Each structure stands twice: as structure tokens, then as C-alpha cells.
């Protein structure tokens, strides 16, 4: 069991009636606020007006940057960093989902340096981020967990690169999690978010490091929560209980707590980043397609125990069946959840992906080496997994 450091000093205001704290929290960091967001959804749900009012009422000066893309692009990050410098911004306020928060994190870092913020992400340079402007966020989509972690993923469309990086200064200072801000999330985006969260947990749960039983129980609880409430939220978008459970689960699926001392590489995320870098598909959708195939590919006599634990504790599969049967039923149950209950597309061709870039995507996903995850994956393994996703 490895040692670990637990350190998540994000302050979270959770619930319906918390936004009156926004002004007081922003003020702690200064008076000049850059508010970042994506398209018009925050205007449609009335959140934009409410936020502007809170900022004005607090006597703060507001600057705005809109148009941050899903799979956010380095160009937006550059623009935001530039604005911070020009307007002498004190604090960034991201209003949106993981894409907006991720982009805002690297704007906050870019604002403090003279070089291109892509250098924080580019594996060839990977300049360490030593400091960043403070970040506050208001979450509108339960999925990536960016609201409670210090990482982000940015795309460079010119080079078809999509890289993630984690730096402690990028941890948000304060996050506002109001489940009602996700009432307008479509059933499809709700499903993609649920798949993303499931993947965050599965990447940690299926792990060869021994770790705390307690954390495995927590992960099983998170997965049961997602499996229980994602379909409710799809059916009844304004079901507060469902939205609240999904929202808090999204944060805890990836804020680092469940990792404990596990320090093994992730597998499905790097494989998926290539899909969305090349085809700009929704991250959660790509993960949904990959995850059951990856699980199938990794199943063997050495790894079967974890599948059994997963199948019995998460899906309630009969523990008296033979181990391999439980394992296969567990994969089937997960597939049924993702492709049946959530209604997500099952294959790469269905989302417009063919074999054209398999070679380069496989090479990039393992970073030219071996992906040392639950089982080690080489370039040819990743290609086989992509191939399994063709039908």
C-alpha cells in the first residue's frame, strides 16, 4: 500500500440557494473579475443575469470571455490569458461545465507567465505551473469533476493534439454546485456525463495496487449512485435528488480522494483523448464506447478478482457463480447500462469514426511507450481495442 497526501482545499457551496455568497467569495481575491463561459445556455437558464447581478451588487468590475468550446481549444486559453494581462484581472469566474473550467484554469496559469500556455500541456515541454490567478466556478454540468480537481484537458486543433495536465495552483478556490443549474442539461449530455464519471471511477477501481478497502467501498457507492440516478435525471430533468446525487458524485469521482495510494496510469482516458482530438466527439461518449471493450481485453485469470468484486458489489450479480461468469456478466451489465439505459452509441462507426487514424491514434495514446495501467497496453493492444469498438 503506497503512502499518499490528501489535500483538497476547495470550498464548495452546495445547493439551491448559495449564489448570494458569490460576491463575498470573489471579493477575497480582488475587484476585477473575468467571467468565462461557453455558448448561450447560461443565458437561457437565467444564470448569466443572476451572476452579473451578484457581481455588480458586490461592487466588482466585470470582464467577459464567452465562446469557450466543448473540448476547449488552446486558442481560447491564449485569448483568456491575454485578457487577464490586459485588464489586470484579479480572479477568474468560470460558469459552465468541465470544458469552461478546464480552459479557465490554463488562462489563470497563462496570465502569470510570458510564454505560450500550450507549454504547460505539450509533453515535449511540459513547463511546470508554479502559480495561477485564483479560480472560482459555477458548475452547470455534472461530468468531468474539474470543479474539485487541479487538472484540465486542452485541444490544439492545428496539431490534432489533446493533452491533459494537473498542477496544484489550478485547483479552484471556491465551487458553486447548484443542482438546479443542471436541470436544462439534455438527456444525451446527462448520459455522456454519467459515462465520464463512471470511467473516472473505473480507471481507479480496476487497479493492481493494493489499497484501502474503505476506498473501494466508496467507489462502489459512487458507481451505484450514478447507475441509480442518471436514468432518473434523463427521464425527469428537474428531479433535484437525482441531479444533486450526480453533481456531488461527479466531484468525488475525480478529486483525488478515491485514489488513496494508487498511482497507476489511466487507460481509457488516453485512448479516448485521441478519438476526440481527431474527431471532436463528446469525451463521455468516447469513454462509453471504449470502456467495456477495454475491460474485456484486460480480463484474465490474474485480473478476474476485481471484476468479480465489481459485479457483485455494484451490479448485485450472484456471488456463487463461477468467477469468469461473474466477470462476463459484470461487463455485460456495464454495457447494458451505457448502451441500453443511457442509450449511448455502441460502436465507433456509429459516431463517424473509421480505421483511418487508428495507427497514429494508438501511437499517440501510449505516448510512444507503454501505457502502464490495469494491464500494460502497447500500441498494438490499443489498436486491437479500437478494432473491438468497430462492431
Least distance from C-beta 232 to a copy of itself, angstroms? Answer: 10
Residues 138/21, Cβ–Cβ less than 8 Å: no
Region class of 145: left (phi > 0), else alpha (psi between -120 and 50), else beta: left
Q: What is the SS3 assignment for 369? A: coil
Q: Which is nearer to a copy of itself, 212 or 321 (CB)?
A: 212
Give the residue carrying C-alpha cell 489533446.
162
Dist. CA 102–CA 323, nearest whole Å = 41
If one asks whether residue 320 binds a copy of itself (CB under 8 A), the answer comes out as no
Minimum gap (Å) between residue 274 Cβ and a copy of itself:
32
CB nearer to a copy of itself: give 37 or 229: 229
Nearer to a copy of itself, 248 or 266 (CB): 248
Separation between Cα atoms, residue 292 and residue 73, nearest integer Å: 29
Cα dihedral sign, 261-264-268-273: positive
* Closest separation in Å from C-beta 220 to a copy of itself: 7
CA distance linking residue 86 with residue 97, whole number of Å: 26
How many residues of this chain bind a copy of itself (CB under 8 A)?
41
Judge residue 61's burial from the number of C-beta atoms within 10 Å of its C-beta, 0-12 exposed, 13-18 middle, 19 or more buried.
Answer: middle
User: In the complex, what is the shortest distance from the CB of residue 209 to a copy of itself, in angstroms, rounded to a whole number?
Assistant: 13
Residue 181 CB, shortest distance to a copy of itself, in Å, is 13
CB of 187 vs a copy of itself, minimal distance in Å: 20
Q: Which C-beta is closer to a copy of itself: that of 61 or that of 220? A: 220
CB of 244 to a copy of itself, least distance (A): 6
Kind of pairing between the strands at 174-177 and 135-139:
parallel
Restricting to residues 149-168, which ones interact with a copy of itself according to CB under 8 A? none
Q: Choose between 7 and 158: whose C-beta lies nearer to a copy of itself.
A: 7
What residues from 3 to 32 belong to the interface with a copy of itself (CB under 8 A)?
3-18
Residues of span 174-233 touching a copy of itself by CB under 8 A: 210, 212-215, 217-218, 220-222, 224-225, 228-229
Site for a copy of itself in 233-292 (CB under 8 A): 240-241, 244-245, 248-249, 252, 260-261
215 vs 388, which CB is nearer to a copy of itself? 215
* Phi, psi (deg, nearest 5) at residue 377: -120, 125
Stretch near a copy of itself under the rule CB under 8 A, chosen from 2-10, 90-98, 125-133, 188-196: 2-10
Strands 371-372 and 376-377 turn out to be: antiparallel
Q: Which is nearer to a copy of itself, 164 or 261 (CB)?
A: 261
Taking alpha carbons only, the member of 290, 291, 295 closest to residue 308 is: 295
Cα–Cα distance, 202 to 91 (Å, whole number): 34
Nearer to a copy of itself, 63 or 240 (CB): 240
- Residue tagged 481485453 (cell numbers): 297
Tracing cell 474527431 back to the chain, one arrives at 279
Quote the CA–CA distance of 75 and 65 in Å, as a whole number: 12
Q: How far is the CB of 180 from a copy of itself (least distance, A)?
A: 11
Shortest reach from residue 17's CB to a copy of itself, in Å: 6
* Of residues 103 and 227, the one with the C-beta less far from a copy of itself: 227
Q: Please state the closest distance from residue 120 (CB atom) to a copy of itself, in A.
A: 24
Burial 254-264 (b: 16+ CB within 10 A, else e): bbbbbbbebeb
Instruction: Report residue 149 as a C-alpha cell.
Output: 480537481
- Grid coordinates standing for 115? 510564454
Binding residues among 123-152 for a copy of itself as defined by CB under 8 A: none
Residue (65 or 258) nearer to a copy of itself, CB: 258
DSSP 155-205: EETTTTEEEEEE-GGGS-SEEEE-GGGGTTS-HHHHHHHHHHHHHHHHHHH
Residues forming contacts to a copy of itself in the complex (CB under 8 A) are 1-18, 210, 212-215, 217-218, 220-222, 224-225, 228-229, 240-241, 244-245, 248-249, 252, 260-261
Amino acid at each position: 500500500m503506497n503512502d499518499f497526501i490528501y489535500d483538497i482545499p476547495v470550498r464548495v457551496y452546495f445547493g439551491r440557494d448559495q449564489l448570494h455568497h458569490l460576491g463575498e467569495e470573489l471579493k477575497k481575491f480582488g475587484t476585477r473579475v473575468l467571467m468565462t463561459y461557453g455558448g448561450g445556455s447560461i443565458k437561457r437558464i437565467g444564470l448569466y443575469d443572476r451572476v452579473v447581478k451578484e457581481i455588480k451588487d458586490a461592487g466588482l468590475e466585470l470582464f467577459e470571455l464567452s465562446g469557450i468550446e466543448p473540448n476547449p481549444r488552446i486558442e481560447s486559453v491564449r485569448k483568456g490569458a491575454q485578457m487577464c494581462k490586459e485588464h489586470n484581472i484579479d480572479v477568474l469566474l468560470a460558469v459552465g461545465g468541465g470544458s469552461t473550467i478546464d480552459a479557465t484554469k490554463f488562462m489563470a496559469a497563462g496570465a502569470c507567465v510570458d510564454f505560450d500556455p500550450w507549454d504547460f500541456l505539450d509533453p515535449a515541454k511540459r513547463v511546470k505551473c508554479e502559480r495561477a490567478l485564483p479560480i472560482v466556478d459555477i458548475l452547470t454540468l455534472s461530468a468531468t469533476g474539474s470543479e474539485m480537481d487541479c487538472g484540465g484537458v486542452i485541444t490544439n486543433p492545428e496539431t490534432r493534439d489533446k493533452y491533459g495536465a494537473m498542477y496544484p495552483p489550478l485547483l479552484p478556490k471556491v465551487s458553486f454546485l447548484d443542482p438546479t443549474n443542471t436541470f436544462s442539461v439534455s438527456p444525451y449530455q446527462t448520459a455522456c456525463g454519467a459515462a465520464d464519471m463512471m470511467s473516472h471511477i473505473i480507471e481507479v477501481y480496476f487497479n493492481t495496487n493494493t489499497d484501502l478497502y474503505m476506498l473501494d467501498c466508496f467507489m462502489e457507492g459512487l458507481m451505484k449512485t450514478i447507475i441509480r440516478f442518471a436514468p432518473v435525471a434523463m427521464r425527469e430533468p428537474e428531479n433535484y435528488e437525482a441531479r444533486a446525487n450526480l453533481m456531488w458524485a461527479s466531484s468525488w469521482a475525480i478529486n483525488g480522494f478515491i485514489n488513496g495510494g494508487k498511482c497507476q496510469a489511466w487507460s481509457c482516458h488516453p485512448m479516448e483523448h485521441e478519438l476526440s482530438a481527431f474527431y471532436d466527439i463528446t469525451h463521455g461518449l468516447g469513454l462509453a464506447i471504449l470502456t467495456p471493450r477495454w475491460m474485456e481485453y484486460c480480463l484474465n485469470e490474474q485480473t478476474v478478482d476485481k471484476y468479480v468484486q465489481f459485479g457483485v458489489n455494484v451490479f448485485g450479480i450472484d456471488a456463487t457463480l463461477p468467477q469468469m461468469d461473474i466477470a462476463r456478466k459484470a461487463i455485460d451489465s456495464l454495457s447494458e447500462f451505457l448502451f441500453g439505459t443511457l442509450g449511448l452509441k455502441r460502436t465507433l462507426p456509429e459516431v463517424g469514426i473509421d480505421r483511418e487514424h487508428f495507427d497514429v491514434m494508438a501511437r499517440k495514446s501510449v505516448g510512444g511507450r507503454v501505457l502502464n495501467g490495469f494491464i500494460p497496453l502497447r500500441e498494438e493492444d490499443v489498436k486491437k481495442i479500437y478494432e473491438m469498438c468497430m462492431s
